[in-house]
Each structure stands twice: as C-alpha cells, then as structure tokens.
Amino acid sequence: MNASRLFALAKRHIIELDPILEELGLDEDIYITVKVGRMTNFPEVRNVAYTAQLSPTQYEIVFAPKWRQLTNSNYEAVLRHELGHVAHMAIPDIRKQLARRSIYLSSHDEPFSDEFAELVWGDNLYYDDDLIQTLEESYYDTRPEWLNL
C-alpha cells in the first residue's frame, strides 16, 4: 500500500466515524492527524501504531515506519482499532452512552477499541501470528486476553 492510499483510507474512515461520534455525544469538532513516527517508539514486532491525545480536540494516530510491511487487511484493522481509541478519548462517557442503547462493550480500553471498531464498521477484528489486528480470519478471533495486561 502506498502512502496516498494509506491517508485516503484513513480520511474515509474518519469521515464514516464522524456522525457516529456526534450521535454518541461529541458536541465539538475534533481533529485527527495520521502520520508515520520513529521506529524507536515501536520496539516490538506487534507495535505498529498508537494514538495520542494532544488536546481535548486534537488526536494523532502514529504508524510505525514498518507500516509498508502490513497487509491491507492489517492496516485497515489497525486503523479502525486506533479510531476506537480516539472515540473513547474524545467521549469519556462513551460506554455509558452505548449502554443507553443496550450496547455493552469492554471496560478495558484495548478490547473496547476492537469491539467499537467491529460495531462501527461491521467486520470482525482478528489477530494474526504476530498479534497484529487483521480483517482476515485468523487463529485468534478476538484479542488474546493476555495482551490486556
């Protein structure tokens, strides 16, 4: 996947997420930047992205320089997971807002981000042999619990 496709896919997913966040109580515009960071911030094979909250309305999704080695399925699943982090950072009571709609997601941030992504985009997030999220069926059909420690 080339860089322009990476950023176009990120933009499309952010646009798709926007009305859902508004419906869940986000009452101000947020800004999400997607960029490539430094390899030193990604020490493990499975470390390919993280999300940072820069201010109450600014978020940054940072991919490892090794993002080009990801399959399209990995990249899209990881992006969706990271947007799940944006959702729970931007709407602190998101679990309560979802519960009002009889939707109960994990109380832990990492599995919540997977579950939220599955809810929004309708695809299961699996984990491949390197324990990286993927949209392709794999040995791990949910986040391995020991990754939440």
Q: What is the pLDDT of residues 66-79, one digit of tens each?
A: 888 899 999 999 99
Q: Rounded to whole angstroms, how far apart are CA atoms 122 and 93? A: 22
Q: What is the pLDDT of residue 1?
A: 64
Encoded tokens for 26: 């986000």
Task: Report the pLDDT averaged over residues 10-32.
Answer: 91
Q: Which long-range contacts (CB under 8 A, 24 or more apart) does 96-105 make?
A: 97/24, 97/25, 98/24
Q: What angle do CA 101, 92, 18 make, to 5 degrees?
A: 70
**Interacting residues of 27 by C-beta distance below 8 A, sequence separation 6+:** none
How many other CB atoms are there within 10 angstroms of residue 92's CB atom?
11
Encoded tokens for 91: 């709407």
pTM for the whole structure:
0.94
Beta bridge partners of 126: 134
pLDDT above 90 (res 116): yes
pLDDT band, residue 139 (cuts 50/70/90): confident
